[in-house]
Amino acid sequence: MKKSVEEHAARFSEKAATYDDSKSDEYHACAGLVVDYADPNPDDVVLDLGAGTGAIALALAPDAERVLARDISEGMMDEGRRKAAERGLDNVEFAYGEFRAPGVDAGQRVDAVTSNFALHHLADDEKREAIREMAATGARRIVLGDVAFFEGPDADAPFYSPEVDDPATVGTLVEAFTAEGFAVTAVERVHDQVAVIVAERLDDDSETE
**Long-range Cβ contact pairs of 121-127 (< 8 A, separation 24 or more):** 121/1, 121/2, 121/3, 121/8, 121/164, 121/165, 121/166, 122/1, 122/166, 123/1, 123/2, 123/166, 124/166, 124/168, 124/172, 126/1, 126/99, 126/100, 127/168, 127/172, 127/173, 127/176
CA distance linking residue 71 with residue 167, whole number of Å: 19
Longest pairwise C-alpha distance within the chain: 54
Query: What stretches of 8-133 adopt beta strand conformation (E)?
Result: 45-49, 66-71, 92-96, 112-116
Q: pLDDT tens for residues 136-184? A: 999 999 999 999 999 877 766 666 676 777 889 999 999 999 999 999 9
pLDDT at residue 153, as a whole number? 73
> 199 has which bridge partners?
142, 184
* pLDDT exceeds cutoff 50 at 208: no
CA distance linking residue 131 with residue 135, whole number of Å: 6
More confident residue, 24 or 156: 24
Query: Average pLDDT of 1-23?
Result: 64
* pLDDT exceeds cutoff 50 at 15: yes
CA distance linking residue 169 with residue 33, whole number of Å: 19
* pLDDT exceeds cutoff 80 at 17: no
* pLDDT exceeds cutoff 60 at 27: yes
- For 52: left if phi > 0, alpha if psi spans -120 to 50, otherwise beta; the answer is left
Q: pLDDT tens for residues 28-74? A: 999 999 999 999 999 999 999 999 999 999 999 999 999 999 999 99
Q: What is the pTM of this model?
A: 0.88
Q: pLDDT tens for residues 178-204? A: 999 999 999 999 998 999 999 999 975
CA distance linking residue 177 with residue 16, whole number of Å: 31
